[in-house]
Every structure is written in structure tokens, then in C-alpha cells.
Amino acid sequence: MKITQATIYPLSIPLIEPIKMAREFVRDAKTVLLCLRDEEGRTGWGEASVAPLMTGETLDSLLGSVKYLVEGAKSCEWGDPQDFADNFSSILYGNASAKSCVEMALLDLFTKRASIPLWKYLRAENNLSHLADPKPIPLLRMLGGSPEKEVADAKEYRAQGFKHWKIKIGSLSLGEDLKRVAMLSDLLAGDVISVDANCALNLEDAIRFCESDEVSKLSFAEQLIPADLALEDFVLLKQKSRIPIGLDESIHGMSEIEEFIVAKAFDGASLKLIKTGGVLQGFEAAQVLSANNLKLNLACKIAETSLSGAATAAIGFALGEVPWGFSMSNQYLQFDICDQALKANRGHLDFAQLAGSGIGIAPNESRVKEALAKGYSLIQC
């Protein structure tokens, strides 16, 4: 398979409402979309989101890396997807987000040529074709804002069928966050409820949080402390905590997963394609978590379109289970660039939405062009 043409789109899509996290305030989603065309005229699409506090990528840096990688990719013959990662490394060191974007587009092309959905390809390549059709993946809904808004949103989305929740903490005092958590935990009793501090707590406050009575109904707490703390600090937090500990910013790929497994420092992890370097390495990481009886949360950065959502969901459908839910973030966008945007069905995502070959969903090029970031234009390679 040869790449004959590539178009790169720098996008900025406003959110339905701003999202306040512990270390940033997000008003719009900046993401890079890539369209590759092969020698037979097929198109494959990829996406990677800007995440300065997680991957170090800005829109400009991500554009530069994707462009450099694509220019090198046009001289390659793309055969077995299992060789993609080595091919990328021969062109560009590091840059997991850019590699994820290009890998997604190549996998879309490859599985379209093979007339197979991406999630089925993952099963076939990993001797999982015997598994039954995948169950719907539970979607995780974020809660934030004033207490009144959080309660109203929780009631509204619970009535729609949502049963997995993430409460953002770390921007208020510890006491205020504990009060919020206790109130929402009582309201949503019986559901899968988590908190996410995005590295905002120090170790002392994280331990106080995890030892408190208010958190007893939580299913897990995600990335309470900074990723650059010593491994011993994570071990201590895990030992002190009365609730499971999940990691996000600390986990980018297999090396971190293996290190934390050996140290017995966590109970599960959140996997994002922009961290793992793509679908294939993300799926490998998910399998290792499962094999070690660790929980999995799949996630898109705030906020990616249905394209990235579909590629991420392919991992969950291939595995057949995502116990900590899927943070599908196109639900926070004012509009999606795909005509058949992924939608929640009673708080879940059904695999029938991705029944077509390839990733299973494609952007509308007119919508993509309308979403170009101000001051930017598409790039042809």
C-alpha cells in the first residue's frame, strides 16, 4: 500500500460549554485531522488532539510532527500493520500523538482494503475471533460546575441511561471536593463513580482524600498526584487508599505499565491513543492490564471528534469489556465533523455504529474545512 496524497487539517471546535479542570480551562477542542489517499483512490482518516499538559503537544508542534511523518511515509510501502511502529520510528523519534494520527489513517486504509471493521481486525490478529459479539461499551459522563448544575446534570443524564461518572476535583479546597463527592455519591449510589484530579493534589492531600469516609462509594480515583513524583509515592498512596487507584498522565505505554505493575502501585489505567502512539499499542496495553487483573478506562482527550472516538472504541469492542467505561468526548462538542456522529444509546455505545469496514466512520470534508482553526489553513503533502 502506497500513500499518494495527504491532507492535514488543523481544527478548533468550540465546546457546548467550557470545561474546568484542575490545571486548565478548555473552551474549544484543538485537534489535527489527517486524510491519506492510497494508490487505488481510497481514503483513510486519522486524528490526534492537542494536549500540552499530557503529551506536550501544541497545535503548531503537532502539525509539524504530523507533516514530517507523512512526508516520510509517502516513500514507504505499507504492508503488515504490525510493522507500522518500526517504520514510524525509522522516520521520527518519540512524538506519540503524531504517530497515533498517522497510524489511525493507515489502519483505516488497511482495514478498508481488507473489508473488515477495525475492531474485528484487532480480534483476528490477536486470536480473539471466537469471542461473542461485543456488548455495548458504557460511556462515562463528566460532572462539573456549581453543585446545583452537577446535581441537575447527574439527574438528567442518569435518566438517559448513563451509569458511569467522572467528577473533576482539584480546583477547590480538599474539604469542598470531599463534600461534592459525598453528595454526588449518595445521589448516584450503585453506579460506577470516579474522580479525576489531573495531577492537582499533593501526596498528603491525596492520602487524606483516599482515607476519608466521603469517598467510600467511589469506584476509583484517577491521577490524584503529579506524574513526576517518585514511584514510592504512588506505592504509598495505593497502600493508604481505601478505594482503587487509577492512573492517566503517569501511563503512556508499556514501560510505565510494567513498572507500576511490578511496584503494585495502581488498580487500573486510562488509555488514550495520543499517549500510547496508536490503536495497536493501545490494544496491547489494554491486554496487559486485563491479564494482570487491572481495570481499563478508555478515553479521548477533551474533546476529540467521532473519528478518534471510533478508533478508541475499537479497542473496547475487540476486548469485549471496558470495566471503568469509555470517556467518549465528542459529546462535549458544539458540532461533530462526521455525518454519522457517535451517539450514546442509554448511556452506552453499540458496536453496530461501527459496522462498516475500516474505523467505521468518516468525516464530512465540508464540515472539516468549516472547523479550520483561525489563522490556519489545510496542508497538502
> Comparing C-alpha atoms, which of 272, 274, 264 is closest to residue 327?
272
From residue 222, alpha-carbon distances to 105, 239, 261, 319 in Å are 30, 15, 16, 22
Regions of the chain short of the pLDDT cut 70: 21-22
**What residues are paired with 297 via a beta bridge?**
270
Per residue in 294-333, pLDDT (tens digit) is: 999 999 998 899 999 999 999 999 999 999 999 999 999 9
DSSP-assigned beta bridge partners for residue 149: none
Q: What is the per-residue pLDDT for 204?
A: 98
Query: Radius of gyration over alpha carbons of the chain, in Å?
Result: 20
Three-state SS across 289-323?
HHHCCCEEEEECCCCCCHHHHHHHHHHHHHHCCCC
- Cell 498522565, residue located: 249
Task: Count the alpha carbons within 13 Å of 232 in the hemisphere toward its beta carbon.
Answer: 0
The pLDDT value recorded for residue 22 is 64
Q: What is the pLDDT of residue 80?
A: 93
Which pLDDT value is given to residue 25? 74
Q: Are 245 and 238 in contact (CB under 8 A)?
A: yes
The whole-number pLDDT of residue 18 equals 79
- Among residues 42, 40, 41, 60, the alpha carbon closest in space to that of 50 is found at 60
Please list the residues that pair with 14 across neighbouring strands: 28
- The three-point CA angle 265-217-235 to 5° equals 10
Q: Which domains does the chain have, with CATH numbers?
A: 3-116+363-380 (3.30.390.10), 124-354 (3.20.20.120)
* Per-residue confidence (pLDDT) for residue 302, from 0 to 100: 84
* DSSP reduced 3-state for 364: coil
